């Protein structure tokens, strides 16, 4: 690891001030950042440790939502009884990620900003536009089994790795950000960016921006929600495809649906097109499939990841079917 | 160089470490506490699992400076029926993953008791399937998984 | 070895400990953190080394800028081809001296500007802390002149050439006219399989702590073959073998990956010599991938012809494996096909391509593990074609004698293994139609395959020593990578001498001990056992001689054959003496005996014996999978294996070995593969997060049964356990998947995309 200075943030103001300096990064649980620093992918001059800041609780919001501090550990959030009752999809998504040990370390803020697991991004000997703008993209013609098929560009096809974020996308979460010029709120859908021709710019955050909380609005339909993750082994692996879904069915007709996807896009992917097609229609396999296929109509696949379209469609169908059957019971 | 103080296996240790030293390397290379193992240095194997204030973590991705003032328990500080159960059920072969498996299992049992859900079940008794899921962060290339699960089931039951 | 083993009667006597599931001796050390591995030996002047790896497949280093690295505070030295002291070149591989196999590659590291593979070490940084070494290593800036390289196995595989056989391994064979018989067969299958490269991924990455004292080298290293490594190091550093001490009390997993001398070991010793410091070089996980060979990928063809009753008329199995221009040995991929089925016409051929990559090496059951995947998948497919139960098909083709060479089987119990397995597994509940068995939403499939691994022995030297207090010390430079070496040999020695298990001490893992057998090819336990038995026989003889010389000894005039060794001494109905009494009476504080065995004749014997006999551990693997019908994720839900491994000395450790093989086989079948970029030969997933070993959640309860029939031709009836467990596993999984889904996957691993 390249030598760096370590500062424990005393309070939010000084943290934000310190991090506005170039070469400074926040440190959460370290489970992504320390790994990337050891590989030489990240080389900050200063780390500002924010785990001691007082954003480590989950609080009630008026109207039934929850406000999750950015330093809340992934395991704590997954275990929160309110989360499990109101947003099971979020608890399940968290529990399907990483391992027990890592979830105990990882923070909500860090999870939001974890970086892609594209193997060429991790190997500094490879060409990677995200790591080194303009150097090329070895994944395009290389091993891209894990890469994205929606929202990609010729510059980068990396998939976003987070499970938690997929659930948050389905729940219309909002991210509270404290920057040099004050506090603002960014909808989750607007936090991550598509690669375009600047894959190194991954979020809408600016230097010094500290994530302080994630707010979950009340989403009654989410009481019946589900996270389904498909991967190469039974546990402790990133998603090939994942689906966060919530389904409300009234008399065989879909009254409300939330659908977000992981493993298929450079950001947690809210499947708006599928949602639009489903809402008001019948809750059956044929409808689920039609909607899922429509979502992937514009997919850009490569040899190594072409299977993801089929896999994603059938995983969406299976997840919605399961929710529907659960509702019928 | 920052100076930190930790309680390691019951005794207070003060040491000067550069910020880029991991908790794992601080233990192994600075304090001579070599029970926690390095299998990947990437959070991907669990061999480095230790308990920080009773909570299981991967010490390879933890910076030592972040654990200033904390209480760290490694396998050397463990005295638990699991250790004998591992021997009885042959829950290891080469023994390299074993310190991590045992520390992880101790943390895992505490999590379950505290009501932490898992990807297998939101609540309920600790089944074999649950143990397997909750212990999946600890790889064993010798494939001693059956013995490990049996040992944990015996101790938890 | 001087003992002869009756061919008709097993050499097992009355046993007290042999056969018991005794707890491992190293259990307390391993469960309390007291067991020290190679990177855990402290030295006051310890320095840390880190490697710089090449990032091109082939070429020359035109410049190597170490300025920035040297400027880092705490850097002691940066060794490159421009300044490193020279090592002697790697010895050429020769069957006359098997230790020559120890060369992982033929490259003389840091001796020239040549780059032979992507990942080759091209510099070593030595520093005061491990972090400094690694950081400084990242600052070394090489410039290259690249040369054309061929690195793409799939592309090069059609250009393979017949391999040159190695006498100790099986390769091609021909009997009758297999191609004509195949063409004429009423029922046939002709399938092409592929298997990817795999890596051992012992959880302990290779690590070395090297210390020079003048011309004397002490090396802490997890080694599978101490004598080979010692000789190799002596050769490379130009010192006598007696000047090299290797300490290897614990090995954190190996599976073949620690049986040779790889770059890290050599460079640690070189760095220690160059800097005059004790040096520790612990490879990073990626460093292991880049410097320690893995299993070759393979392309295989299996074609089977049969008559309508399912009797094989033709068996063709050909393979391509990959070695490197700078070393590696072809895998005996068709080896098991010599012995599995009674076909009148057989054609076996092994081919090889040489690429510009890190050489392959042995990995658990080299040859058989991937070879049985192909041949046992093909048998299953033939059973489908015939509409016949796959076990029945195998039974119909069970040979009386070696199908190719007509050799005698020392004993063969596959029929019994399948019968017992079928009963225990509930095979009769299998609906033979594909895709109809269900458990809830899951598709269920059941598959079988045969496990086969040849049983060999290597020379082992052992001394046993009785102390006046009754303690028995067994000394041999054996290896403990998790097989329970000390436990098992203690059980054997205790029985042979008739002493309590607790009074037996076993010393191992040290080159100062009499050279033990390598822990390779599943030979260690049986080979060491032969030595222990031989040495114990001699020790009893000397003890008796000592007793008989003492006036008034109750054993006076007795012959050894009349005596029983038990209760800590030699017994006869009319008078007994404990060893302690014998020694005390003779005024001796100890008595020692030794079993000596040279490499002399080993190769010749192996080759000769193979012409007359087939000796192998075998088994029947039963697998049940569940396949998600939507996502086609495959999970192994049940496993049962019935094994004929001869005598089982320790039911507990043996079961663990077999299970370990099965778990590795499950990984091989479903999730593992090393991805090598066909453009530049770079390993793309050199990490445990992207190379998917099975985790807890992937492994069900594995039911292991033994037939426990001693082999009549080996000491104690042992056949070797370490590798047979992995053989047949991938085929059993593939066959179960075929049953569950109707889909035959020919290319490992069986990831869901191949089933969608
Ligand atoms: C082996 C392995 C397997 C994994 N498997 C999965 C998986 O299956 N699914 C999954 O979703 N994840 C997985 N992860 C990733 C894991 O979830 C992330 O590493 C973790 O969530 C990151 O959280 P952290 O607190 O440790 O972040 P850190 O590593 O501390 O930080 C990550 C990034 O976030 C920034 N940051 C941290 N906190 C803040 C803040 N409050 N405001 C602004 N910026 C901040 C940091 O500067 C850094 O850039 C895995 C990780 C490993 C090592
Ligand atoms: S896909 Fe993106 S992250 Fe991966 S190599 Fe290409 S540019 Fe880099
Ligand atoms: S060494 Fe920490 S998880 Fe592998
Ligand atoms: S016992 Fe060897 S890795 Fe688990």
pLDDT in tens, A107-160: 999 999 999 999 999 999 999 999 999 999 999 999 999 999 999 999 999 999
HEC states along C567-585?
CCEEECCCCCEEHHHHHHH
Distance (angstroms) between ligand 3 centre and the Cα of C675 equals: 22
Contact C187/B at CB under 8 A: no
Quote the CA–CA distance of C55 and C680 in Å, as a whole number. 9
Whether C651 is in a domain gets the answer yes
Quote the CA–CA distance of C194 and C176 in Å, as a whole number. 27
Q: How many CB atoms lie within 10 A of CB C180?
A: 13
- Looking at the fold, whether B17 and B51 belong to one and the same domain comes out as yes
Q: What is the pLDDT of residue C537?
A: 95
- Looking at the fold, whether B99 and B37 belong to one and the same domain comes out as no
Total length of chain B: 157
- Work out the pLDDT band at C597, boundaries 50, 70, 90: confident
- Looking at the fold, whether C551 and C492 belong to one and the same domain comes out as yes
How does DSSP assign B36-55, residue by residue? Answer: S--S-SSSSS-TTEEEETTE
Minimal-distance CA residue of chain C relative to A117: C690
* Ligand 4, CB cutoff 6 Å, lining residues: B 92-98, 140-142, 144; C 203, 253, 482
User: Residue B43: which of A5, A96, A102 has the nearest Cβ?
Assistant: A102
- Looking at the fold, whether C687 and C566 belong to one and the same domain comes out as no
Whether C188 is in a domain gets the answer no
Q: What is the pLDDT of residues B96-113, one digit of tens each?
A: 999 999 999 999 999 999
Question: What CATH number has the domain bearing residue B49?
Answer: 3.10.20.30
Provide the H-helix boundaries in C42-146.
Answer: 67-71, 130-139
Residues of A in contact with C671 (CB under 8 A): 232-233
3-class SS at C389? coil
- Looking at the fold, whether B64 and B37 belong to one and the same domain comes out as yes
- Looking at the fold, whether B69 and B105 belong to one and the same domain comes out as no
Q: How many CB atoms lie within 10 A of CB C633?
A: 22
Q: What is the pLDDT of residue C11?
A: 33
Quote the CA–CA distance of C206 and C288 in Å, as a whole number. 7
- Looking at the fold, whether C641 and C591 belong to one and the same domain comes out as no
Q: What is the pLDDT of residues A237-272, one digit of tens each?
A: 999 999 999 999 999 999 999 999 999 999 999 999
Question: What CATH number has the domain bearing residue B105?
Answer: 1.10.150.120
Q: What is the pLDDT of residue C602?
A: 67
Can you list the positions of beta strands (E) in C284-441? 298-306, 312-324, 345-355, 408-409, 438-439
- Work out the pLDDT band at C1, boundaries 50, 70, 90: very low
- Indicate which of B20, B64, B107, B135 best probes the interface with A, i.e. most A CBs within 10 Å of its own CB: B20
- Looking at the fold, whether C619 and C634 belong to one and the same domain comes out as yes
Q: Supply C377's token pair.
A: 């998948």
User: Among A229, A290, A294, which Cα is nearest to A262's?
Assistant: A229
Domain-ending residue, one of B75, B106, B128 = B75
- Work out the pLDDT band at C396, boundaries 50, 70, 90: very high
Do C374 and C381 form a contact (C-beta atoms < 8 A)? no
Q: How many CB atoms lie within 10 A of CB C639?
A: 27
Residue with tokens 């066959």: C735
Confidence check: pLDDT of B34 > 90: yes
- Looking at the fold, whether B59 and B87 belong to one and the same domain comes out as no
Question: What CATH number has the domain bearing residue C423?
Answer: 3.30.365.10
- Looking at the fold, whether B56 and B113 belong to one and the same domain comes out as no
Domain-ending residue, one of C604, C639, C662 = C604
User: Among C663, C661, C621, which Cα is nearest to C642's?
Assistant: C621
- Looking at the fold, whether B95 and B109 belong to one and the same domain comes out as yes
Distance (angstroms) between ligand 4 centre and the Cα of C658 equals: 14
Q: How many CB atoms lie within 10 A of CB C11?
A: 20
Q: What is the pLDDT of residue C6?
A: 31
Q: What is the pLDDT of residues C160-214, one digit of tens each?
A: 999 986 666 677 899 999 999 999 999 999 999 999 999 999 999 999 999 999 9
Contact B29/A at CB under 8 A: no
Q: Supply C704's token pair.
A: 């292991």
Of the CA atoms within 13 Å of residue A289, those in its CB half-sphere come to 6
Q: What is the pLDDT of residue C164?
A: 82
- Looking at the fold, whether C462 and C445 belong to one and the same domain comes out as no
- Looking at the fold, whether B90 and B121 belong to one and the same domain comes out as yes
Do C341 and C399 form a contact (C-beta atoms < 8 A)? yes
Domain-ending residue, one of C604, C633, C654 = C604
Backbone angles phi, psi at C292, to 5 degrees: -115, 120
Q: If you average pLDDT over residues C153-158, what whole number do you get?
A: 96
Residue with tokens 């299992």: B105
Instruction: Say how many domains are in chain B.
Output: 2
Whether C179 is in a domain gets the answer no
- Evaluate: CB of A119 within 6 angstroms of ligand 2: no
Minimal-distance CA residue of chain C relative to A316: C630
Chains with ≥3 Cβ pairs under 8 A against A? B, C
Q: What is the pLDDT of residues A26-75, one digit of tens each?
A: 999 999 999 999 999 999 999 999 999 999 999 999 999 999 999 999 99
Whether C575 is in a domain gets the answer yes
Q: What is the pLDDT of residue B2?
A: 86
Phi-psi region of B91 (alpha: psi -120 to 50; beta: other; left: phi over 0): alpha
Chains with ≥3 Cβ pairs under 8 A against C? A, B
Quote the CA–CA distance of A68 and A77 in Å, as a whole number. 8
- Looking at the fold, whether C437 and C487 belong to one and the same domain comes out as no
Do B148 and C662 form a contact (C-beta atoms < 8 A)? no
Residues of B in contact with C23 (CB under 8 A): 87-88, 90
User: Among B76, B95, B80, which Cα is nearest to B147's?
Assistant: B95
Confidence check: pLDDT of B1 > 90: no
Q: How many CB atoms lie within 10 A of CB C117?
A: 28
Whether C344 is in a domain gets the answer no
Confidence check: pLDDT of A279 > 80: yes
Domain-ending residue, one of B52, B75, B98 = B75
Whether C426 is in a domain gets the answer yes
Q: If you average pLDDT over residues C386-407, what whole number do you get?
A: 96
The Cα-based distances of A288 to A223, A263, A321, C598 in angstroms read 20, 19, 8, 72
Query: How wide is the angle at C-alpha B35 spanned by C-alphas C723 and C650, nearest 5°?
Result: 35
Q: What is the pLDDT of residue C13?
A: 45
Q: What is the pLDDT of residue C10?
A: 34
Q: Ligand 2, closest atom to CA A127? A: 5
- Looking at the fold, whether C526 and C510 belong to one and the same domain comes out as yes
- Looking at the fold, whether B7 and B60 belong to one and the same domain comes out as yes
- Looking at the fold, whether B96 and B145 belong to one and the same domain comes out as yes
Least Cα separation, residue B114 to chain A (angstroms) = 9
Confidence check: pLDDT of A311 > 60: yes
Quote the CA–CA distance of C163 and C165 in Å, as a whole number. 6
Residue range of the domain that includes C665 = 1-35+411-455+615-756
Q: What is the pLDDT of residue C15?
A: 75
Whether C526 is in a domain gets the answer yes
Q: What is the pLDDT of residue C5?
A: 32
- For helices C651-670 and C729-741, the axis angle rounded to 10 degrees is 50
Residue range of the domain that includes B135 = 81-156
Q: What is the pLDDT of residues C314-356, one digit of tens each?
A: 999 999 999 999 999 899 999 999 999 999 999 999 999 999 9
Q: What is the pLDDT of residue A229?
A: 98
Instruction: Say how many domains are in chain C.
Output: 2
- Looking at the fold, whether B89 and B46 belong to one and the same domain comes out as no
Q: What is the pLDDT of residues A167-187, one digit of tens each?
A: 999 999 999 999 999 999 999
Query: How wide is the angle at C-alpha C630 spanned by C-alphas C628 and C633, nearest 5°?
Result: 40
- In angstroms, how far is CA C730 from the centroid of its own chain? 17
Q: Which residue has the higher pLDDT, A305 or C92?
A: A305
> How many distinct helices (H) and strands (E) make up chain A?
13, 12
Can you list the positions of beta strands (E) in C250-331? 278-282, 298-306, 312-324
Q: Supply C60's token pair.
A: 């020359």
Q: What is the pLDDT of residues C535-556, one digit of tens each?
A: 999 999 999 999 999 988 999 8
Least Cα separation, residue C357 to chain A (angstroms) = 17
User: Among A28, A87, A66, A86, which Cα is nearest to A211's?
Assistant: A28
Quote the CA–CA distance of C652 and A302 in Å, as a whole number. 49
Q: What is the pLDDT of residue C9?
A: 32
Residue with tokens 């009254």: A255
Q: If you average pLDDT over residues C45-57, what whole number do you get?
A: 98
- Looking at the fold, whether C686 and C671 belong to one and the same domain comes out as yes
**DSSP code for C709:** P
The answer to whether residue C562 is catalytic is: no
Average model confidence (pLDDT) across chain C: 94
Quote the CA–CA distance of A174 and C670 in Å, as a whole number. 39
- Indicate which of B38, B95, B108 best probes the interface with C, i.e. most C CBs within 10 Å of its own CB: B95
- Looking at the fold, whether B151 and B92 belong to one and the same domain comes out as yes
Domain-ending residue, one of C604, C635, C666 = C604
What is the percentage of chain A residues whose pLDDT exceeds 70?
Answer: 99
Domain-ending residue, one of B46, B75, B104 = B75
Minimal-distance CA residue of chain C relative to A1: C135
Q: What is the pLDDT of residue C599?
A: 59
């Amino acid at each position: 690891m390249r030598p760096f200075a370590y500062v424990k943030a005393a309070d939010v103001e000084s943290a934000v001030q310190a991090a506005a300096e170039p070469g400074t990064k926040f440190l959460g649980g370290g489970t992504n950042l320390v790994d990337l620093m050891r590989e030489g992918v990240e080389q900050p001059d200063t780390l500002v440790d924010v785990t001691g800041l007082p954003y480590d609780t989950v609080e009630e919001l008026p109207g039934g939502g929850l406000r999750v501090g950015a330093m809340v550990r992934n395991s704590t959030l997954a275990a929160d009884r309110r989360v499990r009752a109101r947003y099971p999809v979020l608890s399940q998504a968290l529990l399907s990620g990483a391992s027990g040990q890592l979830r105990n370390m990882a923070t909500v803020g860090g999870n939001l900003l974890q970086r892609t697991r594209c193997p060429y991004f991790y190997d500094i000997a490879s060409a990677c536009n995200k790591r080194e703008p303009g150097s090329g993209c070895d994944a395009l013609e290389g091993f891209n089994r894990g890469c994205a098929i929606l929202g990609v560009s010729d510059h980068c096809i990396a998939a976003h790795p987070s499970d938690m974020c997929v659930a948050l996308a389905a729940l219309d979460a909002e991210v509270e950000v404290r920057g040099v010029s004050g506090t603002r709120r960014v909808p989750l859908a607007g936090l991550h960016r598509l690669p375009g021709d600047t894959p190194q710019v991954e979020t809408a955050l600016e230097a010094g921006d500290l994530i302080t909380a994630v707010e979950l609005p009340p989403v009654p339909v989410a009481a019946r929600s589900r996270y389904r993750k498909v991967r190469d082994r039974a546990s402790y692996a990133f998603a090939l495809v994942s689906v966060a879904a919530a389904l409300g069915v009234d008399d065989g007709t879909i009254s409300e649906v939330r659908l977000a996807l992981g493993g298929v896009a450079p950001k947690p992917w809210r499947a708006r097109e599928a949602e639009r097609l489903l809402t008001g229609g019948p809750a059956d396999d044929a409808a689920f499939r039609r909607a899922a296929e429509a979502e992937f109509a514009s997919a850009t696949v490569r040899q190594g990841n072409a299977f993801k379209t089929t896999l994603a469609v059938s995983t969406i169908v299976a997840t919605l079917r399961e929710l529907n059957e659960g509702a019928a019971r | 160089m920052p100076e930190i103080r930790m309680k390691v296996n019951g005794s207070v240790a003060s040491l000067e470490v550069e910020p880029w030293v991991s908790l794992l390397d601080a233990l192994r290379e600075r304090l001579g506490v070599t029970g926690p193992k390095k299998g990947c240095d990437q959070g991907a194997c669990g061999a480095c699992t230790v308990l920080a204030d009773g909570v299981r973590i991967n010490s390879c991705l933890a910076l030592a400076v972040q654990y200033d003032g904390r209480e760290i328990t490694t396998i050397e500080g463990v005295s638990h029926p699991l250790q004998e159960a591992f021997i009885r059920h042959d829950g290891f072969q080469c023994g390299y993953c074993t310190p991590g498996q045992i520390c992880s299992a101790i943390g895992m049992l505490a999590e379950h008791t505290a009501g932490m859900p898992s990807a297998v079940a939101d609540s309920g008794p600790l089944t074999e399937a649950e143990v397997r899921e909750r212990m999946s962060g600890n790889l064993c290339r010798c494939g001693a998984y059956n013995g490990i699960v049996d040992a944990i089931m015996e101790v938890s039951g | 070895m001087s003992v002869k083993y009756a061919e008709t009667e097993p050499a097992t006597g009355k046993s007290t400990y042999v056969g018991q599931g005794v707890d491992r001796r190293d259990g307390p050390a391993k469960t309390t953190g007291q067991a020290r591995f190679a990177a855990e030996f402290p030295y006051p002047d310890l320095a840390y080394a880190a490697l710089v790896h090449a990032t091109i497949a082939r070429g020359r280093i035109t410049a190597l800028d170490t300025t920035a690295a040297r400027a880092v505070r705490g850097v002691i030295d940066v060794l490159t081809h421009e300044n490193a002291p020279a090592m002697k070149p790697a010895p050429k591989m020769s069957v006359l001296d098997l230790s020559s196999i120890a060369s992982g590659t033929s490259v003389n590291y840091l001796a020239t500007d040549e780059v032979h593979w992507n990942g080759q070490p091209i510099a070593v940084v030595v520093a005061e802390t491990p972090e400094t070494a690694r950081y400084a290593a990242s600052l070394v800036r090489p410039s290259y002149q690249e040369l054309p390289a061929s690195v793409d196995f799939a592309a090069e595989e059609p250009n393979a050439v017949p391999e040159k056989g190695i006498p100790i391994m099986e390769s091609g064979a021909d009997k009758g006219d297999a191609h004509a018989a195949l063409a004429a067969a009423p029922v046939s299958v002709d399938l092409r399989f592929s298997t990817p490269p795999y890596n051992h991924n012992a959880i302990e990455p290779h690590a070395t702590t090297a210390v020079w004292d003048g011309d004397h080298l002490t090396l802490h290293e997890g080694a599978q073959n101490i004598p080979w490594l010692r000789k190799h190091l002596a050769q490379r550093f130009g010192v006598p073998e007696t000047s090299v001490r290797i300490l290897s009390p614990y090995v954190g997993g190996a599976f073949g990956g620690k049986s040779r001398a790889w770059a890290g070991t050599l460079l640690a010793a070189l760095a220690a010599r160059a800097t005059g410091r004790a040096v520790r070089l612990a490879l990073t996980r990626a460093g292991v991938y880049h410097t320690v060979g893995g299993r070759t990928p393979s392309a295989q063809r299996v074609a089977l012809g049969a008559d309508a009753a399912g009797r094989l008329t033709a068996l063709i199995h050909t393979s391509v494996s990959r070695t490197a221009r700078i070393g590696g040995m072809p895998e005996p991929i068709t080896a098991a096909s010599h012995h599995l089925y009674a076909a009148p016409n057989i054609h076996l051929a092994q081919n090889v391509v040489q690429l510009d990559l890190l050489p392959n090496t042995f990995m658990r059951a080299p040859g058989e593990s991937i070879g049985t995947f192909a041949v046992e998948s093909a048998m299953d497919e033939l059973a489908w074609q015939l509409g016949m139960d796959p076990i029945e098909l195998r039974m119909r083709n069970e040979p009386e004698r070696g199908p190719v060479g007509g050799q005698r089987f020392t004993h063969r119990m596959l029929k019994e293994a399948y019968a017992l397995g079928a009963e225990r597994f509930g095979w009769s509940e299998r609906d033979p139609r594909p895709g109809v068995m269900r458990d809830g939403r899951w598709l269920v499939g059941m598959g079988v395959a045969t496990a086969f691994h040849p049983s060999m022995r290597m020379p082992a030297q052992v001394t046993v020593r009785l102390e006046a207090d009754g303690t028995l010390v067994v000394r041999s430079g054996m290896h403990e990578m998790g097989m329970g070496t000390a436990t098992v040999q203690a059980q054997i020695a205790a029985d042979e001498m008739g002493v309590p298990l607790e009074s037996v001490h076993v010393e191992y893992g040290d080159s100062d001990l009499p050279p033990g057998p390598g822990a390779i090819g599943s030979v260690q336990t049986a080979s060491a056992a032969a030595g222990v038995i031989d040495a114990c026989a001699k020790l009893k003889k000397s003890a008796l001689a000592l007793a008989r010389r003492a006036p008034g000894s109750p054993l006076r005039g007795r012959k050894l054959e009349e005596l029983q060794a038990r209760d800590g001494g030699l017994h006869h109905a009319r008078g007994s003496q404990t060893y302690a009494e014998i020694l005390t009476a003779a005024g001796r504080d100890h008595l020692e005996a030794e079993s000596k065995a040279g490499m002399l004749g080993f190769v010749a014997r192996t080759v000769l014996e193979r012409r007359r006999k087939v000796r192998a551990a075998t088994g029947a693997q039963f697998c049940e999978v569940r396949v998600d019908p939507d996502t086609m994720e495959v999970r192994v839900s049940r496993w049962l294996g019935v094994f004929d491994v001869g005598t089982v000395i320790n039911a507990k450790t043996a079961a663990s070995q077999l299970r370990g093989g099965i778990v590795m086989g499950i990984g091989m079948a479903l999730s593992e593969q090393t991805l090598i970029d066909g453009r530049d030969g770079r390993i793309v997933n050199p990490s445990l997060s992207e190379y998917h070993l099975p985790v807890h959640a992937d492994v069900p309860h594995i039911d292991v049964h033994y037939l426990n029939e001693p082999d009549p031709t080996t000491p104690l009836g042992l056949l070797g356990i370490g590798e047979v467990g992995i053989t047949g596993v991938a085929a059993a999984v593939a066959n179960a998947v075929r049953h569950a889904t109707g889909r035959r996957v020919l290319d490992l691993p069986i990831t869901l995309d191949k089933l969608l």
